[in-house]
Amino acid sequence: MPTSFILTFGGRISCLQCTAKSKRTGVQCRGLALKGKTKCRVHSGGTGPRTAEGKARSAAAPLVHGRETRKARAERSLGLARLAELDEVGRRAGVISGPRTRGPKPKASR
């Protein structure tokens, strides 16, 4: 695959162009490759943690995405597990009839 360079900062700096190509059009990405890499940051030029220490540090970091946190997910899963248990008890007692609800079982009940 031939490498091409892009001139930036008014033609004063020459940078390697990302070598990723579109699956649909076959056009090469016009982004700048990361230093020492052949891909831009969008096309996996940067990677996540590689060492065991880095992976553990990443796993321990707080996961926050809007209102989603590990704590909120665990609480929701526990609540769904309790509901699934109550549903099962109600079906055995004959209080609940009809089809079961669709979807995956909560992680806490597995």
SS3 annotation, 30-99: CCECCCCCCCCCCCCCCCCCCCHHHHHHHHHCCCEECCEEHHHHHHHHHHHHHHHHHHHHHHHHCCCCCC
Alpha-carbon distance 27 to 49, whole Å?
30
What are the sequence ranges of the domains in the chain? 1-46, 68-109
What does pTM read for this prediction? 0.39
Residue 93 in this model has a pLDDT that exceeds 90? yes
What average pLDDT score do residues 92-103 get? 83
What average pLDDT score do residues 1-15 get? 76
Contact 84, 77 (CB under 8 A): no
Question: What pLDDT is stored for residue 106 in this prediction?
Answer: 62
Contact 19, 27 (CB under 8 A): no
Residue-wise pLDDT tens digits, 49-89: 889 999 999 888 876 666 777 788 888 888 888 988 898 89
